[in-house]
Amino acid sequence: MTDPRTDLVNAAKYFHQRGWMLGTAGNLSARLEDGSFWITASGKSKGELTENDFIHQLPNGTFEKPRPDLKPSAETSIHEAVYAIFPEARACYHVHSIEANLVSNFTHAAILPLPPLEMIKGFGIWEANPKVGMPLFANHLDVPMIGQAIRDRFTQELPPIPALLIRNHGVTVWGKSPEDARNKIELAEYIFRYMVQAKHLGLCSD
Ligand SMILES: CSCCC(=O)C(=O)COP(=O)(O)O
Ligand SMILES: [Zn+2]
C-alpha cells in the first residue's frame, strides 16, 4: 500500500459529515507492508484533517511525527491490539455516533446481538437469518486497559465479525484496505440505526 493518508483524510471528512466524527472524536489508521501504520494525531478536528495531522508508528513501537506539537491518538493502543491480532487488517477505523452509544446500552452482556439483516453479509457472514453478535467492551479512562481487554478476549476467541463496540463510546472496525474499513463503518452504523428505530417502533430487533 502506498501512503494512505489521503484515504484517511477523506474518510474522516465523510464521517464528520455523517455526524460520526464530530469535533475531535474518533481516530483512523492504516497499516503499511512493513508493519508500520499511520494514525491520526490526538485531539485534531476530524472534519479538517490534512496529511500533516498523522503520526507514523513504527513496528518497534516508536513513532515519527511531522511536527513536534503532534501526539499520537490517545486510543493508539486499540489500533495496536487490532493489528497484533488480525494480520490481514490494513486499516482500523473508530468513530463515535449517537446510535452506537444507544445500542451499547441495549444489553448488559459482553456481546450485542445483531438483527438478522441482509446487511450482515457485508461483515462476511453469508447465512440466512444469521445469529451474530458484536463484542462489547467496557469503556475505561485508561485506554490501554481497553486495548488489553481486546487482546485478552480475542486471543481466547476470535470475534465473529471484524468489529467491536465500546460501551457509551463508539465502534471500531478493521478491514483489508481503507475502503473496506469505511464500508464496515457504514454497515455497523446502518445496523445500529436500524436497531434504534426498531426499538422505538416496538419491533424485536434480534
Ligand atoms: C471527544 S473525543 C474523546 C477521545 C476519543 O474517544 C477519541 O476517539 C479521540 O481521541 P484522539 O486522541 O484520537 O483524538
Ligand atoms: Zn474514541
Q: Whose grid coordinates read 518497534? A: 60
Ligand 1, atom 3: closest residue by C-alpha: 25
CATH 3.90.1170.50 is the classification of domain 4-200? no
- Annotated binding residue 96: yes
Adjacent-strand bridge partners of 113: 133
Beta strands 132-137 and 163-166 are parallel
pLDDT reported for residue 2? 81
Of all atoms in ligand 1, which is nearest to the CA of residue 39? 13
Q: Would you write out the chain's pLDDT as a tens digit for each of its 206 residues? A: 688 999 999 999 999 999 999 999 999 999 999 999 999 999 999 999 999 999 999 999 999 999 999 999 999 999 999 999 999 999 999 999 999 999 999 999 999 999 999 999 999 999 999 999 999 999 999 999 999 999 999 999 999 999 999 999 999 999 999 999 999 999 999 999 999 999 999 997 55
pLDDT reported for residue 150? 99
| Å from CA of 129 to ligand 2 middle | 31
pLDDT reported for residue 205? 53
Edge-to-edge strands of the sheet including 170-175?
Answer: 63-64, 54-57, 37-40, 27-31, 91-95, 170-175, 163-166, 132-137, 111-114
Burial 18-49 (b: 16+ CB within 10 A, else e): eebbbebbbbbbbbeeeebbbbbbbebebeeb
